[in-house]
Amino acid sequence: MITLHVNGARREVSAPARTHLADVIREHCGLTGTHLGCEQGVCGACTVLVNGAPTRSCLIYAHEAAGMEVTTIEGLDEDPVAEALRAAFNRHHALQCGYCTPGMMMTARDIVIRLGAVDETRIRDELAGNLCRCTGYRGIVRAIAEVAATRPAALPLARREAAIPAPPPPPLAVNAPPVDAALPNHLEHRETLAIPPDVAWLILSDPARIADCVPGMRLIRHEGTLVEGEMAVSLGPFAVRFAGLGTLTLDQAARMGRLRGQGRDGANGAEGEVQWRLEPDGEASRLLLELGWRLTGPLAQFSRPALLRGVVAAMAADFARNLERQARGEAVVAKASFWGLLLGWWRALIRR
Ligand code: FES
Ligand code: FES
């Protein structure tokens, strides 16, 4: 049984453990305004609000949303921002078949509330995670720009979301400096490891073993704090192999590590910092990750945090399972489950 709060109502749902939130919303709650397209986190059709943040409901299990406030398109009937957006979408002919529209509205509402008056370039960046296959984006962007310029003031839904705050994430490390604030994108993520912290730290303090656990990563050199390596990434239509240098620092006492690096592959560039810390969690461990990054070149269109959050979660899960396999002396899985699926989806779409 999972207890969800959907559009302000409490719902008790009986569903298998691995049912994703979108299926529960549609099939158990009967709220079919949330659409499913790719079911791989790419198209954005399934976007709902979880504690007020746009979230791909195909990428989280329903039980992960337990205790949080889930808002679907049906929950925005009375919302003044959504009302203004509906009218603007009509005026600017911002939909044709309407399949993408519920997800678009969720993202559009977030843009209006979060950014206010904003130019079309930024709107297109923010919409990178919502695909429309028939209308084109011109009308959608114009509709959002028009509403964002006036930014309707009354937001009762936002107030209701604020009444159910998400638990604040713990500080990554008591005295650890935060990941470089100058990097434009930031994300925090947690994973539970089914191994004790001492065992996990043996791997997380060894660059070669870390690299073995990350699908697509290869360590070329490690001398003192200097590391050199490459990382193969397939994202959407892009398959890139970043080669670069980094600086690795480890804090044994705090069971904490930090890697700062940058790399290039042709027109694509990446610069980033990742900090990790281990904490005991009963017999297991909790792995806390904090990331900051900047992408340049064609790959930069995937920088949007809402899109990257799901991707990073999938990568971190791949990494965590490999780490557990290493600790048990088993072979790691070298191929990322998520990246390959994503690329396959894009190729199929392009063929169509
Ligand atoms: Fe969830 Fe496409 S169905 S992102
Ligand atoms: Fe048809 Fe966007 S209106 S997919």
* Yes or no: domain 185-351 corresponds to CATH 3.30.530.20: yes
Check residue 161 and give its pLDDT: 42
Rounded Cα distance between 79 and 274, Å, is 38
Which residues sit with their C-beta closer than 6 Å to ligand 2?
Answer: 95-101, 132-135
Q: How far is the CA of 35 from the centre of ligand 1 (A)?
A: 8
* Yes or no: domain 2-150 corresponds to CATH 3.10.20.30: yes
Check residue 305 and give its pLDDT: 57
Check residue 263 and give its pLDDT: 87
Helix intervals (H) in 133-176: 138-150, 156-162
Rounded Cα distance between 231 and 216, Å, is 5
Q: How far is the CA of 209 from the centre of ligand 2 (A)?
A: 45
Mean pLDDT across the stretch 249-264?
89
Q: How far is the CA of 306 from the centre of ligand 1 (A)?
A: 12
Check residue 112 and give its pLDDT: 94
Higher-confidence position of 103 and 170: 103
For the CA of 310, the closest atom of ligand 1 is 4
Check residue 345 and give its pLDDT: 41
Buried-exposed string 176-188: b where 16+ CB fall within 10 A, e elsewhere? eeebeeeeeeebe
- Dihedral angle sign, alpha carbons of residues 167, 168, 173, 174: negative
Beta strands in 31-184 (DSSP E): 47-50, 53-56, 69-71
For the CA of 96, the closest atom of ligand 2 is 3
Higher-confidence position of 33 and 213: 33
Residue pLDDT, tens place only, 27-84: 999 999 999 999 999 999 999 999 989 999 999 999 999 989 999 999 999 899 999 9
Check residue 232 and give its pLDDT: 80
Q: Is the whole model's pTM more than 0.85, yes or no?
A: no
Domain borders along the chain are 2-150, 185-351
